[in-house]
Structure 1
Amino acid sequence: MNTKLSLLELLNQTGYFQSIHETRILTHLIRNPLKDTVKDICDETGLPDSKVYPALKLLVNLGLILKESNHRPSRYYFTNPRTLEEFMNNNYSKELENKKTGLSLLNQQVINSWNPEEQELGPVAYLYRDNSIFSEILRIMKNTKVKIVLILSENFEPFIDTVISEIPKLISRGIKVELALPQSLTPGLEDFISTSEKLLKFKTSITQENSYIVRDQKTMLSITHRKQESVAMLTDDQLLVEYIDSCWNNSNCCTQINYQIETKDAIDLEILK
């Protein structure tokens, strides 16, 4: 930032005021501790009273200046630097929150619009960064043609929203989903589980460290969860793929428990029979 900018230029640069009239008046009142009438402000700023009155009203409503009404004509003066600082901080916080919301919506639109091509793999491909893992989870789910098996550990939590958002889309495409979740990740399950029991099977995962996703019995993504950054292995090695795919029926990985989930229509849904 240019440190040689004037007070007026800095106020205008914030973008928190509707027009330059407010910033010109505020600059004048900050620099002049005396209580000024509308006529004084017009004379000092060169603004007509038709511009000064609405600008003063706005600045008063924002709490940046005070109006002394017991004096005729009314006089105006700047409150204090702390008030201006709070005003700036509040506006910055709102601006930042709006940007975060906008970025979140943008990312979701990108995810919904993204149609990734299936990768050609050697025996093993490694993915090291969390962002790459997010992308690969989406790629696998979007490229599934028949069935996907997800056996997830409790450490899968950073990625769970991505999976949950994609499951209804998979089911709507007629894809079979076998989902094993630890108890810690099951709250809110009724919000995304479809009533299509033929396509969705649900179990409780008891795997401790790694999470696994198998697509169409062809490709397997193994995620080793770490505190700092997760590490993932992507492979189409059939021995590994078949082994992980078989874990769905392995009681050391998944327990077959019947869950009763109350849907929004108050219909009891037995997920696994």
Structure 2
Amino acid sequence: MASPILFERDGDVAIITLNETAKLNALSLDLQRELRARLADIRADRTVRALLLTGAGKAFSVGADLSTEGPMSPGTPGLGQRTADLMHELSNRIVTDLRELPVPVVVALNGAAAGAGVGIALAADVVVAARSAYFYLPFVPKLGLLPDLGATWFLTRLLGRARATALTLLGERLAAQTAAEWGLIWSCVDDEQLRAQALSLAQRLARLPAARALDARRAFDAAAGHTLDQQLDYETTRQRELLDAPEFAEGVRAFLERREPVFGSR
């Protein structure tokens, strides 16, 4: 039986591939648990400096496993409470795991990101999508549910409320090219170029100072809830700390010596 998650290394870059292709990488419990385990390994391994997350087959992930054998089979007694417990204990933690990783995260969106797969894809720092890929939120018009795994949070901040609401209520597919034009993702590339382009970005991000991707995430998240004065104070506090870090000293030396900085491992 094939593993639901494939893991490999390309130098400093860890590569995770969702690998339940028969179900279009639906979020089975086995896949979710294995994904969390691999993210924990990356967090602990100081030789990893960037993560590339993608899917095998035709889809990135179509979200919850709605098959008759899946954990969300309609009519199951206590389905709502049991699913909410699973979200608290497992599914939601995938998103927070990604957001708390001390390394940059690149998603190579190889195909559909639907349902809960949208939240996982948008938890990345940089999303590069194949031209054939798309986002799809069937929750309201097809299932009578609301978007989850952070999709409402990410979409509102990345697209604005008007587009986020329309996508949610209409349930229309958002093509990768349009997603790039709207600013939801970094770029859209031809399908055959996806892997190379995404890996190149991950390798570039792997050269960043240690944990600065996490710093950047936290700064932008803070900005969403701060007044300008509060964010100015936040930035000042962080700069006070970072100016005394060895990465800044190396950056200045590299600037004066007209070379690229070489930052130490995390």
Q: TM-score range by the shorter chain?
A: under 0.3
Structure number with greater Rg is 1
Greater share of residues in helix? 2
Q: Normalised by the size of structure 2, how large is the TM-score? A: 0.24
Q: Normalised by the size of structure 1, how large is the TM-score? A: 0.23
Structure showing greater relative contact order (alpha-carbon pairs closer than 8 Å, 6 or more residues apart): 2
